[in-house]
Amino acid sequence: MKKVCVCDFPRMENFHGYSIDFLDPVPYLLNGRSWSQRIRTLGQDERWVALRRLYESKWVDQLYREKDPSYMRYVGDFVEKFRNADLLVFANYNPIHPEILCKELPNPIKVLGFVDDPISTYVRGIPYLWAFDGALYISPSYNDRLLFKEALKLWGCEQSYWWPLVQPKRNAANKEELWPHSAPRDKAVNLGDDFFSHRDLDLIYVGAQYGPKVDRLIQLRKRFGSRLKIHGRWPLAGLGGMARGLKGKPVLWGRIRSISDQERTNLYYRTKIGINMHFSPTPMETGNMRMYEVPGHGMMMLCDKAGLNAHEQIFEPDKEAVFYDSTADAIEKIEYYLAHDEERLRIARAGFTRVHKDYDGEMGLKRLLDWASALPRSSRAGSISCSLTT
Position 247 in a domain: yes
User: Both 142 and 238 in a single domain?
Assistant: no
> What is residue 386's predicted lDDT score, i.e. its pLDDT?
46
User: Both 150 and 198 in a single domain?
Assistant: no
User: Both 233 and 97 in a single domain?
Assistant: no
pLDDT of 162 strictly over 80? yes
Q: Give the whole-angstrom CA distance, residue 99 versus residue 105.
A: 9
User: Both 188 and 309 in a single domain?
Assistant: yes
Mean pLDDT of 109-129: 97
The rounded percent of the chain whose pLDDT value lies above 70 is 93
pLDDT of 387 strictly over 60? no
Total domains, the chain: 2
Domain membership of residue 196 as a residue range: 180-359
Confidence of residue 32 (pLDDT cuts 50, 70, 90): low
User: Both 190 and 124 in a single domain?
Assistant: no
> What is residue 67's predicted lDDT score, i.e. its pLDDT?
97
pLDDT of 43 strictly over 80? no
Position 387 in a domain: no
pLDDT in tens, 182-238: 999 999 999 999 999 999 999 999 999 988 899 999 999 999 999 999 999 999 999
Higher per-residue pLDDT: 264 or 247: 264
CA-based nearest residue to 307, from 281, 333, 275, 274: 281
User: Both 289 and 348 in a single domain?
Assistant: yes
The domain spanning residue 346 has which CATH number? 3.40.50.2000
Q: At 231, give phi and psi (nearest 5°).
A: -140, 160
Q: Give the whole-angstrom CA distance, residue 15 versus residue 365.
A: 9
Position 380 in a domain: no
How much is the mean pLDDT over the chain? 92
Q: Is the dihedral of CA 349, 350, 356, 360 positive or negative?
A: negative
Q: Give the whole-angstrom CA distance, residue 307 versus residue 286.
A: 8
* pTM metric for this prediction: 0.93
User: Both 59 and 200 in a single domain?
Assistant: no
Position 384 in a domain: no
Q: How many CB atoms lie within 10 A of CB 150?
A: 13
Q: Is 389 exposed, middle or buried (0-12, 13-18, 19+ CB in 10 A)?
A: exposed
**8 Å CB contact between 147 and 308:** yes
Mean pLDDT of 126-155: 98
Confidence of residue 47 (pLDDT cuts 50, 70, 90): confident
Q: Kindly report the CA angle at 281 between 280 and 287, in degrees rounded to 5?
A: 45
User: Both 190 and 97 in a single domain?
Assistant: no
User: Both 68 and 207 in a single domain?
Assistant: no
pLDDT of 353 strictly over 50? yes
Confidence of residue 52 (pLDDT cuts 50, 70, 90): confident
Within its chain, how far is the Cα of 27 from the centroid? 22
Position 140: which residue type? P
pLDDT of 15 strictly over 80? yes
- Specify the long-range contacts of residues 369-375, CB closer than 8 Å, at least 24 apart: 369/2, 369/4, 369/15, 369/16, 369/18, 369/87, 369/89, 371/161, 372/87, 372/89, 372/109, 372/111, 372/134, 372/136, 372/161, 373/2, 373/86, 373/87, 373/109, 375/109, 375/111, 375/133, 375/134, 375/159
> What is residue 41's predicted lDDT score, i.e. its pLDDT?
47
User: Both 100 and 198 in a single domain?
Assistant: no
Mean pLDDT of 280-308: 97
Position 314 in a domain: yes
User: Both 352 and 215 in a single domain?
Assistant: yes
Q: How many CB atoms lie within 10 A of CB 157?
A: 22
Position 386 in a domain: no
**8 Å CB contact between 166 and 180:** yes
User: Both 224 and 256 in a single domain?
Assistant: yes
